[in-house]
Every structure is written in C-alpha cells, then in structure tokens.
Amino acid sequence: VAVSFLLGCSILAAQPKPVAAPPAKPKVTQTEARINTPTLALPAPEPKAKSETLHFNVNWPSGLSLGEGELTSTQTAQGWSFSFNVYAGIPGFGIVETARSKATTDLCSLSLSKEGSRGKKKVNEQTTFDSAKLTATRQTGKDGGKSEMRVSACVRDALTFIQFARRELAAGRLPAAQPVYYGAGYQTRLQYAGTQKVTAGKESPEADKLTGTIKGPASDLTIEMFFARDAARTPMLVRIPVAMGKFTVEFVR
C-alpha cells in the first residue's frame, strides 16, 4: 500500500538582547534569550509508486523449459497498472505476447491492451471498460472490428484479477465467482483446496492451494494455483492440464 507522510521541522533561534557595557556583563536569562518561531510544515510529498515484478518459467510436463515471462504490477495513489510478457513455444508454434491493463484503486478495470503472435496469428486489441455506461468496448486491430459487451460497474481483466485474488486471500476471503476479461469474458470460480508444500529453489514452504474453473466461449479449463502464505500471497506455481499433460508456470522467488 502506498504510504504518504508529512515531514515537519521546527527551528529555534536564540538572540540575546542588547546590553550596556558595564565592567561586568549581566546574565541573560533563558526567558530573555528564547525567541519562538512558528513551526513550519512542509507539503506532503506525492506517495511513491509501489512496484513488483515476478519472473516465471513455463515448463513442459517433463520439466524442460518451454519459455519464460514476467508479471509487473505498480500501485500509485491514482490506481494500478499491470503488464504481462510471455515468450514460449513448441516446434512450429510460438507464443509471444504482451498485455497491459489499468485499474482503479479498488481494482476495477479501466483498460486492457494486448499484442503479439500465436503461431501465425497476430494479436492486437484494446478493451475499454466504462463503469458509468456499464459497457466494455473491444477494438481488434487498427482497422479491425469493434464490439460492445454489457458489464457490471466493477469488472476485472485477467491481470487485475490476479492482484484482486491476492488481496482477497490476504484478507482471509475467496474471490466471488465472476467474469474475467482477456478479450472475451471467462466465467471464473476459485475454490480453496487446503495447503501443500511447493518446491521453490532449495526450500519447500507450505502454500495455499486453489483450484480455478475457467469457462469461455470455446474453452473449459480447470487449473491449480499455489500462493505463498506470506502477507502479499505471492503466486508460486500454476498447473495447467492440456492434452499433452500438465504444463507448469513456476514463479522465481
């Protein structure tokens, strides 16, 4: 949480009153010597941005590396911004994608953009969320189509939802089932599945295990997520089952 503070300072000066020049100097009392000056309060500085970057590896079921990426979040007094980069691929099919989103201080999405390539398919789109009109407008490509979806007053894109889930877990709550947007809307539900030790480097700390059900227009997926039991509920591991086996996303601590 961004923290602001007020810096104050007090300046005291002592000036002795003029005295005559008798052979012996009279004593100057403490009351005579003290001159009070007003306490000065400097303007509060702008709260510093709080930023976090998490690096992760994408691995084959065998443990061999498939790619890597990073997830960055920045919090300011005006709200949140997130960025996501991933570089991964299998022979004949590569994934290079960058996504960015902005959200309010309450973690309600304002915008989402993503660009990159999935195999031969190019990705370039922007989604703008309007809480007043209760709409999400999705623009595909510079000259592509535009579509509008009805949404609630506070919706979340995928990047914002990750931070929202961490905040709820830190408060001892599970996020309510809700649509999560990453282009289309994906109905997302998280369930608590106890604790489990997760290997992270040379350590195997206890982690909170969650199962996530994600349903979209043409997808139905159940994943496993593990969050550290620290104050920030840092993500540690995600397991994604596909036809070839369980791919893993392992965050580097």
Q: Is residue 83 part of a domain?
A: yes
User: Residue-wise pLDDT tens for the chain (253 aa)?
Assistant: 222 222 222 222 223 333 344 455 555 444 444 444 444 444 445 556 799 999 999 998 888 899 999 999 999 999 999 999 999 887 778 889 999 999 999 999 999 999 999 888 898 999 999 999 999 999 998 777 899 999 999 999 999 999 999 999 999 999 999 999 998 899 999 999 999 999 876 788 899 999 999 998 888 899 999 999 999 999 999 998 877 778 899 998 7
Amino acid at 9: C
Hey, which bits of the chain come out as E strands? Answer: 8-9, 13-14, 34-35, 40-41, 50-59, 65-76, 79-90, 93-103, 109-118, 121-130, 135-140, 146-150, 156-157, 178-182, 184-197, 206-216, 219-228, 235-242, 245-252
pLDDT of residue 174: 95
Cβ atoms 152, 197 nearer than 8 A: no
- The total number of structural domains that make up the chain: 1
- State the sign of the Cα–Cα–Cα–Cα dihedral 158, 164, 166, 172: negative
Task: Assess if residue 4 is contained within a domain.
Answer: no
Closest by alpha carbon to 69, among 81, 83, 90, 79?
Answer: 83
The H or E element spanning position 170 is helix 158-170
Give domain status of residue 100, yes or no.
yes
What tokens does 20 get? 């005559």
Parallel, antiparallel or unpaired: strands 178-182 and 156-157: parallel
Classify residue 149: in a domain, yes or no.
Answer: yes
**3-class secondary structure, 231:** coil
Is residue 115 a part of any domain in this protein? yes
pTM more than 0.85: no
For residue 58, give both structure tokens. Answer: 């994408």
Q: Which residues contact 162 (CB under 8 A, 6 or more apart)?
A: 71, 82, 235
Supply the range of the domain harboring residue 113: 59-252
Comparing CA positions, the residue from 39, 87, 81 lying closest to residue 65 is 87
User: Using a CB cutoff of 8 Å and minimum separation of 24, what contacts does 30-36 make?
Assistant: 36/12
Q: Tell the burial category of 160 from Cβ atoms under 10 Å away from its Cβ (0-12, 13-18, 19+).
A: buried
Q: Are 6 and 44 in contact (CB under 8 A)?
A: yes
Which residues lie closer than 8 Å to 35 by C-beta, 6 or more apart? 13, 14, 15
Question: Over the range 130-140, which residues count as b (16 or more CB within 10 Å of their CB) and which as e?
Answer: eeeeeebebbe
In a domain, 8, yes or no: no
Q: Is residue 5 part of a domain?
A: no
The answer to whether residue 116 is domain-embedded is yes
